[in-house]
Each structure stands twice: as C-alpha cells, then as structure tokens.
Structure 1
Amino acid sequence: MANSRQRKPDDRSNNVERIQGIIKNTEEKLHEAEISMEFADPMQSKMVKEKNERRKQSIEALKDEMKDEMAARKNGEV
C-alpha cells in the first residue's frame, strides 16, 4: 500500500525567527533557574548549575545556527 501522506516541503523561511524564540525561551529558563537556586538545597543547586551549563551551550549552538540561517537568507537560499 502506498503511503498516502506527503511530506511537507522544507520551509526555512521562518527559521531565524523560530530560533530567536527558542533562544529567548532558554535564556528565560536559565534566569528563572538561577533565581530558584537561592531556595535550593546543595544537591538541587548542583543539578541546576549543571543544567544551566547545558542551556548556555545550547544557546551558543542556536546562535551559530541562526547565523547560518541568516547567511542562507541573505544569499537567497531560503
């Protein structure tokens, strides 16, 4: 039986804005987690610090991806 579902074409036209939203959301979560550490026990605080480090790494990767998408948009690839 043939697959009746068709894949959607790759629409990169809003990737820059989408990535910006993800970055903003992640930065907000990072900030909220830092505030929550004031009330956390040492073990929870350690876990929050580790998670925030991963968040910071994700933000940097997302910024790089956003630069790539902006370059693609500028070059007419999107």
Structure 2
Amino acid sequence: MAKPDNRADNEVHLQEHINHTLSKLHAAEDYLDEHADEIKADEKQAIEAKNDRRKESIDYFIAEKKDEARD
C-alpha cells in the first residue's frame, strides 16, 4: 500500500536543496577565481555551464517553495 502524500515538510526540504545548491555554486565560483589561469578553457566552460544550471535550479526551488507556502 502506498504511503499517503505528506507535504508538511516540503518547504524545509526545498530550503535544504537551495542551501546545498548555493554552497556548490559558491565553491565552484571560488575555485574558478583561484585557479582560472591554471585550468583548461573547456574545463572552465564546463564549470560555468554547470553553475548556470545550478542558478536555474535555485530559481526553480525558490518558485516551488513559494508555491508550497501558498498551499
């Protein structure tokens, strides 16, 4: 039998996702700041692309959190 849909802590989980993703984003930015001249252009581009996706994810998590707050 399936568990009932418990959405009571969705906002908390979404905030955890936001915090984790922000942490990874900042760590990658710090890495680029410190080592940009030491890494290959394709590696730098890959990190920047991943950070772009992280920013999109953060926007999505924030929107979802707002939706959960309204419910």
TM-score by length of 2: 0.89
> 1:65 is aligned with what amino acid?
E
Deviation of 1:43 after TM superposition, in Å, equals 1.3
User: Identity, % of aligned pairs?
Assistant: 37
Matched, 1:8 2:3: yes
Q: Which has the higher helix share?
A: 2
Aligned length: 67
* 1:35 Cα offset (Å): 1.4
1:43 aligns with 2:35: no
TM-score by length of 1: 0.81
Instruction: List runs of 5+ in structure 2 lacking aligned partners.
Output: none
1:19 aligns with 2:18: no
Q: Which amino acid aligns with 2:58?
A: I
Query: For 2:7, what is the secondary structure of its paired residue?
Result: coil
CA RMSD of aligned residues (A): 0.9
